[in-house]
Amino acid sequence: MIKLTEIIQSPIFVKQKKKLHKQQIKDLDKAVNVIFQNPSAGEQKIGDLQGIQVYKFKSRKQQFLLAYEIIESTIYLYAFGSHENFYRNLKKYLKD
């Protein structure tokens, strides 16, 4: 199992996080902690998003998706949000 040492947030991740309510930020931080403790917690994607993992969590009775990638001992947090247009926006962001 990989020993993780660092978490890096993408600019879009930071921007999205600033718009959340306090409870949603706490739920997001819990989800990130779960991933940090167990890097294989998310579902591995295939096709255009190969290498990306998506972890699902709930906040205020709404399901959110959190996209991340593990490279060596670092977690790269790319984006999170509700399912609506999530994968389309993630592909667009990763392409740029």
Predicted pLDDT of residue 1: 62
Q: How far apart are CA 66 and CA 78, in angstroms?
A: 8
86-92 long-range CB contacts below 8 Å, 24 or more apart? 87/49, 90/49, 90/52, 91/48, 91/49
Q: Answer yes or no: pTM beyond 0.85.
A: yes
Cβ–Cβ < 8 Å for 12, 80? no
Work out the average pLDDT over 32-51.
93
Residue 40: pLDDT over 80: yes
Tell me which amino acid residue 54 is: V
Q: Give me the percent of the chain exceeding a pLDDT of 70.
A: 98
Alpha helices in the chain (DSSP H): 11-18, 22-37, 86-95
Residue 3: pLDDT over 90: no
Work out the average pLDDT over 66-94.
93
Residue 96 pLDDT level (bands cut at 50, 70, 90): confident
Residue 4: pLDDT over 90: no
Tell me which amino acid residue 4 is: L
At 53, list the tokens: 């993992």
